Structure 1
Amino acid sequence: MSYKSDIEIAREANKQPIQEIGKKLGISSDDLVPYGHDKAKISQSFIKSVQDRTDGKLILVTAINPTPAGEGKTTTTVGLGDGLNRIGKNAMVCIREASLGPNFGMKGGAAGGGYAQIVPMEDMNLHFTGDFHAITSAHSLLSAMIDNHIYWGNDLEIDTRRVAWRRVVDMNDRALRQITASLGGVANGFPRETGFDITVASEVMAILCLANDLEDLEKRLGDIIVAYRRDRTPVYCRDIEADGAMTVLLKDAMQPNLVQTLENNPAFVHGGPFANIAHGCNSVIATTTALKLTDYVVTEAGFGADLGAEKFMNIKCRKAGLAPSVVVLVATVRAMKMNGGVAKADLAGENIEAVQSGCANLGRHIENLKSFGVPVVVAINHFVTDTDAEVQAIKDFVVSQGSEAILSRHWELGSEGSADLATRVAEIADADMANFAPIYPDDMPLFEKIETVAKRIYRADEVLADAKIRKQLHEWEEQGYGNLPVCMAKTQYSFSTDPTLRGAPVGHSVPVREVRLSAGAGFIVAVCGDIMTMPGLPRNPAAKSIHLNETGEIQGLF
């Protein structure tokens, strides 16, 4: 049986004018800033006007460690949002925007899939409303002003060997990871080593997604540490006097983007920080606004629950005063088989034993999520090759872990296929069973916070960090940064720092290679193992198959 591609399904969508979607949320046309007919930004004045309303229920969608078999976290997020509306609930979806780098690199979009998608899919996976371009521009402005300050006399006495602010571009380009800038003689400045990260790894991105409003945004931008002097004292963005102009560039990007699902239900798509170097969630302003407009908000966190969900709980919820009512943990039969040792080419055949073996990964995520005091429901994202016996094996395992698993067929059937999942999730959310709390307090020493995540979430025996790293953490504590949460940057493919260790590894160590202070975003980054902030393209990038056909339609984009 052949199935339509995601882009074919999206193209057939019966979209409503964005003003009609706004009406469903009580947003008048005057409070929408349209970007064409099917997407719009929400005005800051409207957002301020709803702050005294009661919050709805927050539902987090996360997943097991990602595998090449695919898990469908965004697809499930969209499907669950549609399912809640189908059963008569007032719900909306909040997800991140897509980065051009992965879209043209590894195939896979950020708008969902099948009949659980957000549209316009092509726009979302390309330039959308220009938010990422604005973030790139604001980041680049600061980069230019730092080098310009040094060129014109360096009144701040910046040590050019200790400029911490790199450059960014929203593309996978390994050639830019490490570069030498300002070559070409006196007129071009003072040569120094620097490099590029991908835009989603920029601290500006993390700041935009954690800021409450424009005033908070400007303060956080000013708090960015851009360099150090010879005496190791920090130089801030506000010392360079770039924070005001950066805020101007980001003024519109701060406004959440309103779009719709295939079933014409509202969705906010806003922000897109890496789930490694940052917290991997959509913006605080989008989530908190959505909670004022609907009774249920379905959002997602990047990568597996050991990265995205951990940071959602320990960073985003802590800083924004949020508390999820229920967590939906996405798993697939295919991914369980891969975790159980089956090669991707052999996933089609029934293998109950491999499913049972791979469930160890699922079980650890369930236990970890429960440790935050939140009930967990497992969503089995259905694939056509799944057998009843394999699905039942997952259900039986999840019951043994004190939770429940529900098969969801939203990819194939839309909200009709997710109605059962939506019904149970709403019941749990309405029962107010959650007693949410982060897994470490603000006043815990920074290294102990790193150890807490490594031991309680990754189940590591120890954290390996040399004296230089420990000294740096201690210095930051003395400077007043000790109350910040930690943001663990490690591989998404394993609980360990070794991407080949699937399942639920034990007896491993977590080596911390370096630590970085993201003073504006408000967290300490612990870089563990071989994590890169500028990806490269694969041997056969998706860009090779993307083109316009004879009628001017985009082909090959998912």
Structure 2
Amino acid sequence: MTFPSDLDISRATPLRPMEDVAAQLGIGEHLLEPYGRNVAKISLDAIDELSDRPRARYVVVSAITPTPLGEGKTTTTVGLGQALNHIGKRSTVAVRQPSMGPTFGIKGGAAGGGYSQVVPMEALNLHLTGDMHAVTAAHNLLAAMLDNHLHKGNELGVDPQRITWRRVLDVNDRDLRNIVSGLGGKQDGSPRQTGFDITAASEVMAVLALSTSLADLRQRLGRIVVGYTPDGEPITAEQLKAAGAMAVILRDALKPNLMQTTENTPVLVHAGPFGNIAHGNSSIVADLVASRCTDYLITEAGFGADMGAERFFNIKCRASGLKPDAAVLVATVRALKAHSGRYKVVAGKPLPPEMLEENPDDVLAGADNLRKQIDNIRLHGVSPVVAINAFPGDFASEHEAIRQVAEAEGAHVAVSTHFTEGGKGGAALAEAVVAACEEPAGFQVLYPDEADLRTKIETIATKVYGADGVSYAPAASRAIDSYEANGYGDLPVCIAKTHLSLSSDPSLLGAPTGWTLPVREVRASVGAGFVYPICGDMRTMPGLGSHPQAESIDLDADGNITGLM
């Protein structure tokens, strides 16, 4: 029997009216703003209206270092939310909104999968309520006002060679990575080299995700730095008088979006910051609402625990004041086999046939990565739960190998079949999460605000990544000194590196030691509220493959969408 596609499962799901979904959260209709039949925005008034309710247990879902195929964090997040309801616990799920770049590129969708997905998947993957487009418009308005300022005399003295603000678009397009703008006649602008990033990489998106209120959003937008004078003085969106109009564009986008899962569990979908150069987590306002609505709030952090979870703890929780009770580490047999160094996994290509054979020794050979990621959770005083995301071709002996490693490290562990069975298949994982949340909580950030930027970088590099130390390119050192002189030294750091290794080298698997983290460049997202050192070549505008998913996405004769995955 052929397993149905995600799109087929989504369309076969009986959806509850949004008023009923909101009622599960104790949110009245007066706080809902319908967007069609199956999506609604939640008014920010809900934050104050619900503030006297008890807080939910707060659980973040992360992973071991993933393969290029991903290990199913979103599916596990959704499945765990459903599973908690199966064991009698009320739960809410909070996830990021997918970018349309990957949807039309290689993924074809990012709503979870199987019987653990956010529905309707077409709405989630295509526009939703327009938040992505609002971020694009606000970002590009600032770029337009900056270029107009140059054209109209440059009263602020912006150095055209030190402009850091590019434009954005929510489509993969490598030809826009580096461009020259302002060509034509004198009235067509001032020619300069610039480029485009994907909308998820915009600092405005990070601002949206980290803002706690409309007033906070307005202030953060004003602090965005777009470039510098020849003397190194920062030029902000506030100085360009653009921040107010940007806030107007984003006013409705700041309201979280309410959807449901295949089992009608409430889901708040909001914001989608890039997982490499930003913190890669859904919004604070969504968590502030959802944390007062049910017994458990399950949210997801991008990439492995060395990246998404570290930023969740040290950036998002620092800004929100919320304290996590447990962290789930998604582990798969294929990822641990990949970390053995015996196989090569390539996105878009089938797994090597020998990798699909029963071999628990290969799993154990790659287990150092799991051990280190468990340790990374514990560094922050949070109880770890290893979720073995079961695939149909796995063997019980391989699951048992993962279980033995996790239990030896003192972590809770459970096999979960939520993809094929929905919440019922994740019941054991839900029980493990409940047990972890009952343990004494001791959450702590990894470094204090007052530590200098180099100390913050080196703390993450040595304690989380396992590096021996950090080396700084001269330009990186100068940037750090400049940022501290401008008063940005108290910001947390968001290290941009490969997600395919604990190190900065994607070819180093497992838990590499004996290496140094090379910081080649350092940039500041002052509005969002973090400094990001860059370690490696970070692509902020993806390209399309030889046969992007866009080739398969279409409408049938009845006007139904086809080709989403």
TM-score range, shorter chain: over 0.9
What is aligned with 2:104? Answer: 104
What is the aligned partner in structure 1 of residue 64 from structure 2? 64
Q: How does 1:120-269 map to 2 (within 5 A)?
A: 120-269=120-269
How far the C-alpha of 1:466 sits from its partner, in A, is: 2.3
Q: Percent identity?
A: 51
Q: Give the letter for the 2:556 counterpart.
A: N
Write the distance in 2 (CA, Å) between the matches of 1:514 and 1:199: 21
Residue of structure 2 aligned with 1:416, choices 424, 434, 458: 424
**Residues of 2 paired with 1:145 and 1:37: CA distance?**
37
Other-structure match for 1:453: 460
Distance in 2 of aligned mates of 1:519 and 1:388: 49
Asked if structure 1 preserves the Cα contact closer than 8 Å seen for 2:473 and 2:521, the reply is no
Residue ranges of structure 2 left out of the alignment (5+ in a row):
345-350
1:524 to 1:247, Cα distance in 2 relative to 1, 3 A: same
**AA partner of residue 184 (structure 1):** G
> Which residue identity is paired with 2:531?
I
SS at match of 1:292: coil
What's the counterpart of residue 380 of structure 2?
Answer: 372
| Cα deviations by residue, 1:197-245 (Å, 9 ceiling, x for unpaired) | 1100100000010111111101000000112112211111011111111
Output aligned runs, 1:374-413, within 5 Å: 374-413=382-421
Equivalent-residue separation in structure 2 for 1:121 and 1:434 (angstroms)? 36
CA displacement, residues 349-369 of structure 1 (integer Å, 9 cap, x when unaligned): 111111111111111101111
Distance of aligned partners of 1:261 and 1:197 in 2 relative to their CA distance in 1, 3 Å threshold: same
Is 1:428 aligned to 2:436, yes or no?
Answer: yes
Contact 1:63 1:304 in 2 (8 A): yes
**TM-score, normalising length: structure 1:** 0.98
State the partner residue of 2:348: none
Q: Which moved more, 1:318-327 or 1:200-209?
A: 318-327
CA contact 1:374–1:433 (8 Å) conserved in 2: no
Q: Is the 8 A contact 2:412 2:436 kept in 1?
A: no
- Which whole-Å CA distance do the structure 1 matches of 2:410 and 2:83 have between them? 24
Q: Say which is worse superposed, 505-514 or 250-259, in terms of deviation.
A: 505-514
Structure 1 residues 252 and 69, CA gap change in structure 2 (3 angstroms): closer
How far residue 432 of structure 1 moved from its aligned partner, in angstroms, is 4.2
Instruction: Give the root-mean-square deviation of aligned CA atoms.
Output: 1.2
Q: In the alignment, residue 163 of structure 1 is paired with which amino acid?
A: I
Bigger shift: residues 197-206 or 435-444: 435-444
Work out the CA distance in 1 between the residues paired with 2:302 and 2:3: 27
The alpha-carbon deviation at position 323 of structure 1 amounts to: 1.1
Q: For 1:193, give the aligned amino acid.
A: Q
Q: Distance in 1 between matches of 2:232 and 2:404?
A: 57
Q: Secondary structure at the match of 1:171?
A: coil
Partner Cα distance (2:441, 2:373) in 1: 17
Q: Would the alpha carbon gap of residues 108 and 305 (structure 1) be closer, same or farther in structure 2, given more than 3 Å must change?
A: farther
| Whole-Å separation in 1 of the counterparts to 2:546 and 2:495 | 28
Q: Report the number of matched residues.
A: 557
Distance in 1, Cα, partners of 2:440 & 2:504:
34
Structure 2 counterpart of 1:380, one-letter code: I
Are the equivalent residues in 2 in contact too, given 1:58–1:296 (CA < 8 A)?
yes
What is the Cα deviation at residue 76 of structure 1? 0.4
Instruction: Answer yes or no: is 1:523 the counterpart of 2:530.
Output: yes
TM-score (norm 2): 0.97
Q: How far apart, in 2, do the equivalents of 1:166 and 1:206 lie?
A: 15
Letter of the 2:67 partner, please give it. Answer: T
Q: Give deviations 1:405-447, integer Å, cap 9, x for gaps.
A: 2000110111110111112211221x24220111111111101
| Matched residue, 2:480 | 473
Pick which of 278-287 and 351-360 moved more: 351-360
How far the C-alpha of 1:195 sits from its partner, in A, is 0.7
Offset, 1:329: 0.4
Structure 2 CA distance for partners of 1:214 and 1:69, relative to 1, 3 Å: closer
Q: Is the 8 A contact 1:301 1:312 kept in 2?
A: yes
Which is further off, 52-61 or 10-19?
52-61
Task: Name the counterpart of 2:450.
Answer: 443
Residues 164-219 of structure 1: CA distance to partner in whole angstroms, max 9, x if unpaired? 11100011111111111101121112111111111001000000101111111010
**3-state SS of paired residue (1:238):** coil
| Cα distance in 2 for residues equivalent to 1:81 and 1:404 | 17
- Contact persistence 1:96–1:110 (CA under 8 A): no
| Counterpart Cα distance in 2 of 1:181 and 1:231 | 25
**Could you tell me which residue of structure 2 aligns to residue 497 of structure 1?**
504
Q: Tell me, what secondary structure is at the counterpart of 2:356?
A: coil
* Residue 52 of structure 1, CA deviation: 3.3
**1:108: Cα distance to partner?**
5.1
d(CA) in 2 for partners of 1:480 and 1:285?
A: 27
Question: How many Å apart are 1:377 and its aligned residue?
Answer: 0.8
2:484 maps to a residue whose letter is E
Cα distance between partner residues in 2 of 1:30 and 1:414: 32
Structure 1 runs not aligned, ≥5 long: none
Instruction: Give the partner amino acid of 2:510.
Output: G
